[in-house]
Amino acid sequence: MAEYKWPEAEKRKYIGKRISRVDGPLKVSGKAKYAYDINRPGMLHGKILHSPYANAKIVSIDTSAAEKMPGVRVVKLVQGPGTTVQWAGDEIAIAVAADEQTATDAIRAIKVEYERLPHVVNDEKLEAVPAANKRTTQEFVQGEPDKAFAEADVTVEGYYGNAIITHCCLESHGQVVEWTDANNVLIHPSTQAVSSISNDLAKALEIPAGNVELKMDFIGGGFGSKFQIDRWGTECGKVSKMAEGKPIKIMLERDAELTIAGSRPSIYAKVKVGAKKDGTLVAWQSEGWGTGGVAGMGAPPLPYMLRTASGIPNIKANFSSVSTNTAPSRAWRAPIHPQVAVITMGALEDLAAALKMDPIEFLKKNINLFAPRAEIYSQELDKAMELSNWKANWRPRGAGAPGSTKTVKRGLGVSMHTWGGGGHASNCDVTIHPDGSVDLKSGTQDLGVGTITVLNIVVAETMGLPMEAVKIFIGSNRYPASGSSGGSTTIGGISGSSRRGAVDALNQLFAKVAPTLGVKPEELEAVDGKIRVIASPSKSMTWKEACAKLGSQPITVRGVNRAGDRELSSSGVGGVQIADVSVDTETGIVKMNNFYAVQDCGLVMDLKTAESQVFGAMIMGVTYSLYEERIMDNNTGRVLNPNMEFYKLAGAMDIGNMKVHMMTGKGYDERGPVGLGEPPTNSPGAAISNAVANAIGVRVPTVPLTPDKVLAALAGKKGGQSNAKI
Amino acid sequence: MSSFTKAGDEKPALPESEPDLAVSRRSFLKGSGLALSVPLVAGNIRTVKAAGQDVKVHGPNKVSITLDINGKKQAATVEPRVTLLDTLRNDLDTTGAKRVCDRGTCGACSVLMDGKLVYACSVLALEAQGKKIQTVESLAQNGQLSPVQQAIVDNDGQQCGFCTPGFTMACTALLNKYPDPTDEQMRLGLGGNLCRCGTYVGLREAVKQVAAQKKGGRR
CB contacts, 8 Å: B40 with chain A: none
Chain A window 573-612: which residues touch B at a Cβ cutoff of 8 Å? 608-609, 611-612
Cβ–Cβ gap B198/A619 under 8 Å: yes
Cβ–Cβ gap B153/A72 under 8 Å: no
Q: Are the beta carbons of A194 and A445 closer than 8 angstroms?
A: yes
Cβ–Cβ gap A39/B93 under 8 Å: yes
- For residues B120 and B102, what is the distance between their CA atoms, to the nearest angstrom? 9
- Per-residue pLDDT reduced to its tens digit, A127-141: 999 999 999 999 999
CB contacts, 8 Å: A73 with chain B: 6, 8-9
Nearest to A98 among B38, B95, B97 (CB): B38
CB contacts, 8 Å: A245 with chain B: 1
Give the residue on B whose Cα is nearest the Cα of A246: B1
- Per-residue pLDDT reduced to its tens digit, B173-189: 999 999 999 999 999 99
The pLDDT confidence band at residue B58, using thresholds 50, 70 and 90, is confident
In the sheet that A540-542 helps form, which strands lie side by side, from edge to edge? A524-527, A530-533, A540-542
User: Which pLDDT score, from 0 to 100, does residue B44 have?
Assistant: 64
CA distances from B163 to B19, B57, B101, B102 (A): 39, 35, 11, 13
Structural element, H or E, at residue A547: helix A543-548
User: Which pLDDT score, from 0 to 100, does residue B54 have?
Assistant: 87
- For residues A594 and A655, what is the distance between their CA atoms, to the nearest angstrom? 8
Strands (E), chain B: 17-18, 23-24, 45-50, 53-58, 63-69, 72-78, 110-113, 116-119, 132-134
CB contacts, 8 Å: B36 with chain A: none
Cβ–Cβ gap A29/B140 under 8 Å: yes
The pLDDT confidence band at residue A219, using thresholds 50, 70 and 90, is very high
Cβ–Cβ gap B100/A644 under 8 Å: yes
Q: Are the beta carbons of A254 and B162 closer than 8 angstroms?
A: no
| Residue A153 or B22, more confident | A153
The pLDDT confidence band at residue B190, using thresholds 50, 70 and 90, is very high
CB contacts, 8 Å: B95 with chain A: 30, 33, 36-37, 39
| Residue A12 or B61, more confident | A12
End-to-end CA distance of chain A: 66
Helices (H) and strands (E) in chain B, counts: 6, 9
CB contacts, 8 Å: B137 with chain A: 29-31
Helix (H, G, I), strand (E, B) or coil at A461: helix
Tell me the backbone φ, ψ of residue A310, rounded to 5 degrees. -95, 5
Q: Are the beta carbons of A64 and A117 closer than 8 angstroms?
A: no
Cβ–Cβ gap B161/A448 under 8 Å: yes
User: Which pLDDT score, from 0 to 100, does residue B38 have?
Assistant: 35
- For residues B188 and A526, what is the distance between their CA atoms, to the nearest angstrom? 51
- Per-residue pLDDT reduced to its tens digit, A59-74: 999 999 999 999 999 9
User: Which pLDDT score, from 0 to 100, does residue B55 have?
Assistant: 85
> Is the confidence at residue A108, as pLDDT, over 60?
yes
CA angle (A323, A328, A333) in 5-degree steps: 115
User: Which pLDDT score, from 0 to 100, does residue A554 have?
Assistant: 98
Which residues lie across from A321 on neighbouring strands? A135, A290
Nearest to A171 among B8, B162, B195 (CB): B162
Tell me the backbone φ, ψ of residue A86, rounded to 5 degrees. -110, 5
The pLDDT confidence band at residue B23, using thresholds 50, 70 and 90, is very low
**Which bin fits A206, alpha (ψ -120 to 50), beta or left (φ > 0)?**
left
Closest CA to B15 of B39, B44, B58: B44
Asked whether the ipTM of the predicted complex exceeds the cut of 0.90, the reply is yes
Measured torsion, CA atoms of residues A194, A195, A198, A199, in degrees rounded to the nearest 10: -150
Chain A window 172-211: which residues touch B at a Cβ cutoff of 8 Å? 172, 178, 180
Which residues lie across from A188 on neighbouring strands? A176
Tell me the backbone φ, ψ of residue A221, rounded to 5 degrees. 95, 140
